[in-house]
Amino acid sequence: MNEESLAATACAIVTPGKGILAADESNPTMAKRLAQIGQESTATKRRDFRQALFETAGLEQYIAGVILFEETLEQVTEDGRRLSGILESKGIIPGIKVDKGAHPMEHSPAEKLTKGLDGLAARCVNYRASGARFAKWRAVIAIGDGIPTDDCIQANAGALARYARICQEANLVPIVEPEVLMDGAHSIETCYDVSVRTFRIVFDALKREGVGLRGMLLKPNMVVSGKDCAEQADAETVAALTLKCLKASVPAEVPGMVFLSGGQSELEATRNLNAINSQGTYPWALSFSFGRALQHSALHAWNGDNGNIAAAQAALLHRAAMSSKASLGRYSPEMEKPA
């Protein structure tokens, strides 16, 4: 483990004004995305869309890293270029999703435990050799009747910590993602309580595993109302409770947070990220690691037709620019209007 190298990479990913494009959808998830535009999910379609994203001129102004799915890390273009090489040529750092998905827990099937630790050490060595410099593991914490249970949070925290340690030993920066889901009718206060509890348990587990906090990043949910809650909190409330949560649970040594969008629309995620970054200064960078909140408009502009690549790239670049502004607290809705 090279602690200084890991710390340098972590800081580079959260360079002010830059964030992460999460393009690590599994093949089943990508099939759902492509079905939205009436397209079959084939390796070629998945490659063509991601290649269009990665080749966007100027993307490196706003994006420091891209999380890839395993298939994408090894994919090549029709003319023989590696997709990860396209990113590297722009100075964008390739990363890799390493978990094997969330599965129902044996004694609490309404909750899920993320799997993928078997063989992870060897896979991480191979990913590093293939050019990846950071990794991501997502745990999901659902809110509902009697959940989350302590067993669920503890089990997922333990897996996140072991994953993080394995990554650092392979010289990959681990992105630790304990996502408190926004599915449900719960209040923003409930989301706050569960998020604080979860993040504290995760950092206790990371400490026990000896994970170097300077060489990792946290990918947290924002503290938001459940999507079916009758009272939806405004951006200022989201920002205040998100920051209160982080101050209560995240050590100052962590270089930064890259917020997930978690089912928020493009505009909601951007607005809330801006509100968070308009509150003052903190010991960590507060940036973004968005998937749908960067890709949704681009996917629909592309629509499965490579003749629409320019439109898709323009849509991605605009959303990346808006996310960049929000990560600096400099976004305003007026910027969304066509020039």
DSSP state of 333: G
| Closest of 302, 275, 301, 298 to residue 286, by C-alpha | 275
Gap between the Cα atoms of 129 and 121, Å rounded: 13
Placement of tokens 């002010």 in the chain: 16
Known catalytic residue at 227: no
CA distances from 26 to 30, 31, 60, 70, 133 (A): 6, 8, 24, 9, 19
Please indicate whether residue 247 is annotated as part of the active site. Answer: no
Q: How far apart are CA 243 and CA 237, in angstroms?
A: 10
The contacts of residue 151 (CB under 8 Å, 6+ apart) are 105, 107, 108
Distance CA 200, CA 125 (A): 29
Catalytic residue, candidates 219, 266, 268, 325: 219
27 half-sphere exposure, CB direction, 13 A CA radius: 10
**Selected catalytic residue, list 25, 70, 111, 177:** 177
Q: Mind giving me the DSSP string for 135-154?
A: EEEEEEE--BTTBS-HHHHH
* Positions marked active-site: 177, 219
